[in-house]
Structure 1
């Protein structure tokens, strides 16, 4: 079965991570931004596509960083990072994973994680949602480390099928 980079949020709202790997969600307090983010996460992790019964969803591995430790931190099954130390660790792991993926993906323009297997296992897309980044950047000891990893990921992660969406920066 072939996976897809598209996820359906509502009848008139489709996210296609491959075609447009960036997302901006804005609104006033109480306008369901967090609910939208949660829907995006659940849809990208889904193994069952609502778009086409013949395709699987992205089956993505999701990571969450929530600088305030509030709404998205309640997604305990995803082990959200809420402290600057946890955020730096998550970004460090994803940056290392990105470089490892490059070794396996090199020379195959246009392919995505779903086109590869490593040690007999399919490579999964990765989605990282960062909420309240500004709070994490307040830590003077970890600010430069967080920014360095985030810069590397924002510049190059898409080619390794890692999609990064910083929110509330």
Structure 2
């Protein structure tokens, strides 16, 4: 399936049509990093340009070495100031696409980035609560940029995947959550944590095995009335040189599309 990522035998993350953006919550050691790595490599295989914000300067931040040194600072951020700069530039690039391709006299209804062979752009923002909690003033600016990407990004090819060990109402607005077409909760969490990620489905959650890489998923646009049990794809990162694989895929993606940004 083009412009979609397979999650298991029957589930796909159809980011281009049905599930615009995603939020993922998982306590420490419950498989979040492995799942993020799978999504990162999967989007890179589709040719996407990828950006990372890692509030704890941990796993995603270490992937900065997959980028050429000349563009590394533009693609990887950790501090609130760096995050604001990156997000502002992404929103500017997104709006430029709208002006160039979708707001002129030759534009046609229903066209999107894929119609013009534009490279999809994915933002992976890990430990959201850590970055936004560091600076309350900048947190508001970060939220405003994220909202623009979540609300406007689909047609122009800009997508955001937000993840954290836990979310709170202070850093994850209801608007962002409700516009995340894929929501994943891994491991065992409190009632409030489930509600923060999945919405008001807590009393209707089906039985599901909990553990590393296991929990619940909700995919928008499929007519689901409640989340479903989910196990993330198995990816043994000990057997994969993730940095080098990502570096190779990013180069291939840049060569595949006429517009890199």
TM-score by length of 1: 0.78
1:100 is aligned, of 96, 100, 117, to 96
Contact 2:50/2:121 (<8 A) preserved: yes
Counterpart-to-counterpart distance in 2, 1:159 and 1:115: 10
Between the two proteins, the alignment pairs up a number of residues equal to: 151
Cα deviations by residue, 1:118-161 (Å, 9 ceiling, x for unpaired): xxxx4101111111112222214522322222222222122211
Corresponding residue of 1:32: 31
Counterpart-to-counterpart distance in 2, 1:12 and 1:40: 17
> Secondary structure in 2 aligned to 1:31?
coil
Corresponding residue of 2:146: 150
- Note closer, same or farther for the CA distance 1:108–1:128 as it changes in structure 2 (3 Å cut): farther
> Secondary structure in 2 aligned to 1:24?
strand
Please report how far the alpha carbon of residue 24 of structure 1 lies from its aligned counterpart in structure 2 after TM superposition.
3.0
2:58 is aligned, of 54, 57, 70, to 70
Contact 2:52/2:124 (<8 A) preserved: yes
Please report how far the alpha carbon of residue 9 of structure 1 lies from its aligned counterpart in structure 2 after TM superposition.
4.3
Counterpart-to-counterpart distance in 1, 2:127 and 2:110: 32
Corresponding residue of 2:41: 42
Please report how far the alpha carbon of residue 85 of structure 1 lies from its aligned counterpart in structure 2 after TM superposition.
1.5
Contact 2:48/2:119 (<8 A) preserved: yes
Report 1 or 2 for greater relative contact order, CA contacts < 8 Å, sequence distance ≥ 6: 2
Please report how far the alpha carbon of residue 93 of structure 1 lies from its aligned counterpart in structure 2 after TM superposition.
0.9
Contact 1:9/1:40 (<8 A) preserved: no
Cα deviations by residue, 1:91-112 (Å, 9 ceiling, x for unpaired): 0111001111111123433322
Counterpart-to-counterpart distance in 1, 2:97 and 2:139: 26
CA RMSD of aligned residues (A): 2.0
Counterpart-to-counterpart distance in 2, 1:20 and 1:147: 20
Corresponding residue of 1:54: none
Please report how far the alpha carbon of residue 10 of structure 1 lies from its aligned counterpart in structure 2 after TM superposition.
4.3
> Secondary structure in 1 aligned to 2:28?
coil
Q: Structure 1 regions of 5+ residues with no counterpart? A: 47-57, 117-121
Q: 1 or 2, which has the higher helix percentage?
A: 2
